[in-house]
Structure 1
Amino acid sequence: MATMLAGRLDLVTGKFGMEQVAIPEPGPGEVRIKVLAAGICLSDVHLIDGSLRLKPRPGFTAVTLGHEVAGVIEKLGEGTETWWKVGQRVLLQAGQTCGACALCMTRTGCLRPLTRGVDYDGGWAEYALARQDTLIAVPDMLPIEQAAILPDAVSTPYAAIVETAALRPAESVGLWGIGGLGAHGVQLVRAFGAAPIIAFDPLPEARERALALGADLALDPQQPDVREQVLSWTDGRGLDVALDLAGVAPVREQAQSVLAPRGRLVLVGLTPAPLTISQSIGFCVAMQQVRGHYGSRFEHLPQLVKLTRLGRLDFSRSVSAVLPLADAPLGVERLMKKQGNPIRLVLQP
């Protein structure tokens, strides 16, 4: 039996490690990808440190992590469409529809979307399987490491901004957490005409990065004059859009305190902590909103590939380092400890 190296999370013990596993065979409508690049996301770190938990189920007691994946088609399964070719460069959607719910049957969405590297094996491996409807062609001019981080690291804040927040030109935006999602969020809201853009992060290096990427102001959220500064920069109104990209309960409390009338708080970062509306009467009178967000839709990735290909967006600064696949545990540790202030670390088999 031919084997490959993969980064596996044991769902029973919670332990993560590099293992030799069987090279998967593509089924009908699937392709096998030779992985060339796979991003390390903070969600992967949370799965490994236990702050996000996956429940084992019969026949699924371990999973290969990694939902930001790009590579080349290495083998076609039976019944794949003729436009997919062996050797073609592709990136993979970070998830897929379940294919069995009522919305899937009518092709109007999905009630139970599945996430790569969570609900099924991901791309921290030498090879990965993908359903053919989750593939996006990668143009030759786009480096494969940058292509790999478009799913999630870029597409999640993109979808949160253009769809969930429904950002309009000249609206004021605040972004909490200028890590992988936040760094791209700053670039995206600037591209779509936000003004002013205010970034919040306790790390000086992250605040400097926010300013370099286009923020108008970068604040330490722990400082006592945060509200006064926000009001000063927004003509006393507050923020039209507040993006929680950190998934930290105090962020949501602070964001509510600086929302403008009809402002939208969008929850992008994940946390199991309860959500509280501390001033619920004022929240209702001002007709403010809290909007949950998760992932992106299929059409967002082709849009991002097009915008990148034509030079409207540039994520060349986002790949902080490329590590061998075998060093996945080291990459996780570096991201966990924020060593080197990374935006994205990418694994290369």
Structure 2
Amino acid sequence: MRVGAGSQFLQAGEVRDGVLLTRGVDYDGGWAEYALAAVETLFVLPDSIPFEQGAIIPDAVSTPWGAVTTTADVRPAQAIGVWGIGGRGVHAVQLLRAVGAYPVIAVDPVPAARRRALDFGADLALDPADPRLRERVLAATGGRALEVGFDFAGVAAVREQALSVLAPRGRLVLVGLTDKPLTVTNGTLFSYHQHQILGHYGSEENAVPQLIGLAEGGRLDFSRSITDVLPLADAAKAVARLYTKGGDPIRLILRP
């Protein structure tokens, strides 16, 4: 890494004001062998955190971290549901357990995803097709339902189901992205229960240094999240594996 003239390399944990754009999303270069980066987007990765684990902290971990701690403002002992246990949803489960949420209920149609949720700390994992899902959620929460539901799937049916098991004043946080319309089937019940729907995207500037600090201090371990490390030349194969879910991957790392 080289730093341009007049720049000061960031110390660990330093945060600068400004709007940050995402390489590979807002502009090209996500898989480039070399890239220019504004100094305020860089953070020191301690020697105790392997590069492969550090590489997934931005987005795969920081996005659910922002959803949990900022948008939803989850508090200890709150009952939380997570729909969609993919690469971000599984980290939401891990992070919710870290901040003291209880119970953490994972919902996914794929058996392997439900097993993974339990491995990452979920207290209960349910199939969304289970006709007794609402009954099971109420039983797990002592009848109070969910304070917060997270949609990591971006699917209309997920949002309807999550709303149906929210407690009064409960919040539904939309993390999974979709261009489909957002609808509320029963507006009267939605208003009566004072439910809220909150959009979420990315994370705040302090998310990455916070997560680096928690990982360095042993509070978080991302080693289970790295399914495989592949050469950059195999990028197309990696995308195919993610698309087909071959080997049930969480995150694949491309090494230049």
- TM range, smaller chain: over 0.9
Instruction: Report whether the alignment pairs 1:304 with 2:195.
Output: no
Alignment TM-score, normalising by the size of structure 1 = 0.70
TM-superposed CA distance for 1:78, in Å, is 2.8
Task: Show CA shifts across 1:44-91 (max 9, x none).
Answer: xxxxxxxxxxxxxxxxxxxxxxxxxxxxx1x2223211x469xxxx9x
TM-superposed CA distance for 1:277, in Å, is 1.0
Write the distance in 2 (CA, Å) between the matches of 1:275 and 1:148. Answer: 33
Q: Which residue matches 2:53?
A: 146
Instruction: Report whether the alignment pairs 1:263 with 2:164.
Output: no
Alignment TM-score, normalising by the size of structure 2 = 0.95
2:130 to 219, 223, 227: 223
Instruction: Report whether the alignment pairs 1:275 with 2:202.
Output: no
Instruction: Report whether the alignment pairs 1:322 with 2:229.
Output: yes
Write the distance in 1 (CA, Å) between the matches of 2:36 and 2:154. Answer: 30
Quick one: structure 1 residues 345 and 136, their matched pair in 2 at CA, closer, same or farther if it must change by over 3 Å? same
TM-superposed CA distance for 1:183, in Å, is 1.0
For 2:7, the aligned partner's letter is T
For 2:6, the aligned partner's letter is G
Structure ID, larger Rg: 1
Q: Which residue matches 1:101?
A: none
1:244-259 paired onto structure 2 within 5 Å? 244-259=151-166
TM-superposed CA distance for 1:167, in Å, is 0.3
For 1:308, the aligned partner's letter is A
Instruction: Report whether the alignment pairs 1:346 with 2:249.
Output: no
For 1:118, the aligned partner's letter is V
Q: Which residue matches 1:201?
A: 108
The structure that is helix-richer by fraction is 2
Q: Which residue matches 1:169?
A: 76
For 1:78, the aligned partner's letter is A
Instruction: Report whether the alignment pairs 1:76 with 2:3.
Output: yes
Instruction: Report whether the alignment pairs 1:182 with 2:109.
Output: no
The count of corresponding residues between Structure 1 and Structure 2 is 254
1:104-115 paired onto structure 2 within 5 Å? 110=19, 114-115=21-22
Task: Show CA shifts across 1:281-306 (max 9, x none).
Answer: 11111111000000001111100000
Task: Show CA shifts across 1:172-207 (max 9, x none).
Answer: 000011111011111100111111111001111110
Write the distance in 1 (CA, Å) between the matches of 2:65 and 2:53. Answer: 15
Give yes or no for contact 1:121–1:128 (8 Å, CA) kept in 2: no
Q: Residue 198 of structure 1 aligns to a residue in which SS?
A: strand
The unaligned stretches of length 5 or more in structure 1 are 1-72, 98-106
Task: Show CA shifts across 1:85-117 (max 9, x none).
Answer: 9xxxx9xx9xxx9xxxxxxxxx5x64xx53211
Write the distance in 2 (CA, Å) between the matches of 1:122 and 1:243. Answer: 30
RMSD: 1.8
The unaligned stretches of length 5 or more in structure 2 are none
Give yes or no for contact 2:90–2:116 (8 Å, CA) kept in 1: yes
